[in-house]
Amino acid sequence: MADENVTDTENTTVTTEQAAAPVHEEQASATPSQPTPASMPKPHAPSPAAFAKKPAQHVAAPAPATGSYTDADVKAAEAFGRVDDNGTVFVKDGDTEREVGQFPDTSKEEALGLYARRYLDLKGKLNLLAGRLKSSNVKAHEIDESLKTLAEETAEPAVVGDIAALKAQFESLKAAGEAKKAELSEARKAAVAKAVAERTEIVVKAEELAASLGDNTNWRSTADKFRSLFDQWQQHQRTTVRIDKAEADALWKRFSAARTTFNQSRRKWAQARDNERNTAKAAKEAIIAEAEELKDSTAWGETSRKFNDLMDRWKKAGRAGRNEDDELWAKFREAADTFFNARQADRDQTNSSERENLAAKEALLAKAEALVPVADEAAAKKAREALASIQEEWDQIGYVPREDMRRIEGRLDAVDKQIKAVEDAAWKKSDPEADARKSSFEEQLNAQLEELSAKIEAETDPKKKAKLEAEKATKEQWLNAIK
């Protein structure tokens, strides 16, 4: 499955050494010792200019400019060569001597120095590759191309210098190059594994989001999270190493499946939401129709309960969409306000009469409170008769404001309780059974006091005697209380 036109891009770094062209041997010709064009070597030997014009893409790095080595370096290289009287230049190559060029029209020193510098330039290329192998951004194909070029240049180089050391250095570079390529291969494997793990983490997050979808999902927030994960996916493709296509496609398939699950679920939710809103709208329109029928009713209590029921149904009906909800609510509120405003006007009128009733009852209350306290049974009887008359008139007055009802009823009850207390006390005094119980208890106390007096008389222990005296005093108080 295509990554929605998203393509992986492997980062490549073009180094200065790769981009730079090799230093041409013409640079060396700028020195005073360079032979004139008339004294160029014979066709069988490569000229410095021809050597310099080798394809740049096969050179590991630019050769060092003439002058980066010392005269002592040149002299040390010259020790491996000679020039005969005809201007032919030879170099010691192992146990043999090999002709490398001919400059018949120059001095032997100039010819030998030229080929010694060519040796040092070639050695500089090897040194540059050795340094390049230590770089962290060298590429395997760069190593292969550089080694191929240097293999050709060091096979039978037209230079004067320590050829054996040059070839030994090249062989060492080959081994180092292979080791570097192995290191790069392992690093790439690690980078690919890391990239796969990072991209898998993005996929797992998307799958977790898809798995968590439900009735309580915040769809807008979740959509933002999926968008962020997709941006991360694209950024990862652009900035990390290319991974195996099959593995990349498999991961994309999983990521795309999670997004598809989300998109389908969101569409279902949106459809269900629209259905719910349509249902809610129909329910609220029905409620509004009922409210319109009730708004002119004067059955205040019953209609108030019906409006409360309509409000409960309204809350349970659900949302019909913000704009439509506002319009529907305005219609319902208008009908409800019509009724409740009328009820309030009636209540205001009722409150006025209730305040008049309150004033009348407070006047009766003053008369009732003047009846107490009562001193005896006869006074209580007269107070009871007067209170009964007051209560009869009280009941005929009617309602008072709700907030005052408990206060005034409580004060009237307090008067009734005071009168009743005197009545109860008089009744208890005339109750035969109560007198019998009192007489029996009095006899028991008198007997106990006589017994305690005898014990106190006979007791010699001060502590025990004091305890008995305390008990006697308590019982004497009980006796006095019931007399």
- Residue by residue, DSSP assigns 294-316 as HTT---HHHHHHHHHHHHHHHHH
Show the tokens assigned to 206. 């998307």
Q: With 90 as the cut, is the pLDDT of residue 27 above it?
A: no
For 349-356, the CB contacts below 8 A with 24+ separation are 350/399, 351/401, 353/398, 354/398, 354/399, 354/400, 354/401, 355/400, 355/401
Contacts of 208 (CB under 8 A, 6+ apart): none
Contacts of 36 (CB under 8 A, 6+ apart): 105
Question: What is the pLDDT confidence band of residue 438, given thresholds at 50, 70 and 90?
Answer: low
Instruction: Specify burial of residue 384 (Cβ count, 10 A radius: 0-12, 13-18, 19+).
Output: middle
Per-residue pLDDT at 31 exceeds 80: no
Tell me whether residue 296 is exposed, middle or buried, using C-beta atoms within 10 angstroms of its C-beta: 0 to 12, 13 to 18, 19 or more: exposed
> pLDDT class for 52, splitting at 50, 70, 90?
very low
Per-residue pLDDT at 150 exceeds 90 = yes
Specify the residue for token string 């898809």: 210
Please tell me whether the overall predicted TM-score, pTM, comes out greater than 0.85 for this model.
Answer: no
pLDDT at 238 over 50: yes
Most confident of 23-27, 48-52, 67-71: 67-71
Q: Encode pLDDT of 320-368 as tens digits.
A: 777 888 888 998 899 899 988 988 887 777 778 888 898 998 998 898 8
Element (H, E) at 98: strand 96-102
pLDDT at 163: 92
Pairing of strands 81-83, 96-102: unpaired
Q: How confident is the model at residue 1 (pLDDT cuts 50, 70, 90)?
A: very low
pLDDT of residue 22: 33
Q: What is the Cβ-side half-sphere exposure of residue 24, based on CA atoms within 13 angstroms? A: 11
Alpha-carbon radius of gyration of the chain: 59
In angstroms, how far is the first alpha carbon of the chain from the final one?
111
Mean pLDDT of the chain: 80
Spatial neighbors of 269 by CB under 8 A, at least 6 apart, are: 217, 219
Q: What is the mean pLDDT of residues 422-437?
A: 67
Q: Residue 166: is its pLDDT beyond 90?
A: yes
